[in-house]
Amino acid sequence: MRVLNNARHLVEAESGDAGVVEFAAVLHDIGRPVELADTGKTCHAERGGDMVLRLLPELGLTDGTFIEQVAHCVRAHRYRRRSEGTFPATLEARIVFDADKLDCIGAIGIGRSFHFAGRTGARVHNTAEEAVSSASYSREDTAYREYLVKLEHVHERMMTGEGKRMAAGRHDFMVAFFGQLNQEVQGRDYA
């Protein structure tokens, strides 16, 4: 629902086909359970796009162009692209991309990062050196690692004007949060 709310706001600010955007926002992570089950070997965006092509006709949708547009948005929403042809090529795909990225930064992004780290058995915190030299789904795959390898760069990849504006504030919040966290962990927050 958070991504859908972001997408609705962005499509209002940027225009685009609201129907395509809303369907894609709701379905963007439909392939996520497979990716989680095999610890990242499957790209949930690619799997999700394929699932959309089967699901929407099963639900009675017959407009092939609409279905393809939704599938493209789902395939192209991923920050870490794995295959060619997954760049958001339409305004709708850029809106869904930005809506999803807004959900992974700021306060909710920090919360999601700690939740994921806990689910994978990672530590609560580690040093920058430990974080960036570790593997995904490892004990060192902390929220701080996610921040260092992905979240601190998300604002640079936003594709819409409104997405960029919103991402700036969420980015500043994360910088302050992880700065404070490091101060506390190192015992340097006594001033």
Highest-pLDDT range among 37-46, 82-91, 122-131: 122-131
Tokens of 35: 């990716």
pLDDT digits (tens, 9 = 90+) for 55-65: 999 999 999 99
Q: What is the pLDDT confidence band of residue 80, given thresholds at 50, 70 and 90?
A: low
> Is residue 191 over pLDDT 70?
no
| Percentage of the residues of the chain whose pLDDT score is greater than 90 | 79
Average pLDDT over residues 169-181: 97
What are the C-alpha distances in Å from 102 to residues 26, 60, 134, 141?
Answer: 15, 31, 25, 21
Average pLDDT over residues 25-50: 89
pLDDT digits (tens, 9 = 90+) for 129-141: 999 999 888 999 9
| Percentage of the residues of the chain whose pLDDT score is greater than 70 | 96
What the chain holds in terms of domains, given with CATH numbers, is 1-87 (1.10.3210.10), 104-191 (1.20.58.1910)
Q: What is the pLDDT confidence band of residue 177, given thresholds at 50, 70 and 90?
A: very high
- pTM: predicted TM-score of the whole model, two decimal places: 0.88
- Provide the pLDDT for residue 14: 96
pLDDT digits (tens, 9 = 90+) for 93-105: 999 999 999 999 9
Average pLDDT over residues 155-179: 97
Tokens of 65: 């162009």
Average pLDDT over residues 15-38: 93
> Is residue 82 over pLDDT 80?
no
107-116's contacts with Cβ under 8 Å and 24+ in sequence apart are 107/170, 107/173, 107/177, 108/2, 109/151, 109/154, 109/170, 109/174, 110/143, 110/147, 110/174, 110/177, 113/142, 113/143, 113/146, 113/147, 113/151, 114/143, 116/141, 116/143, 116/146
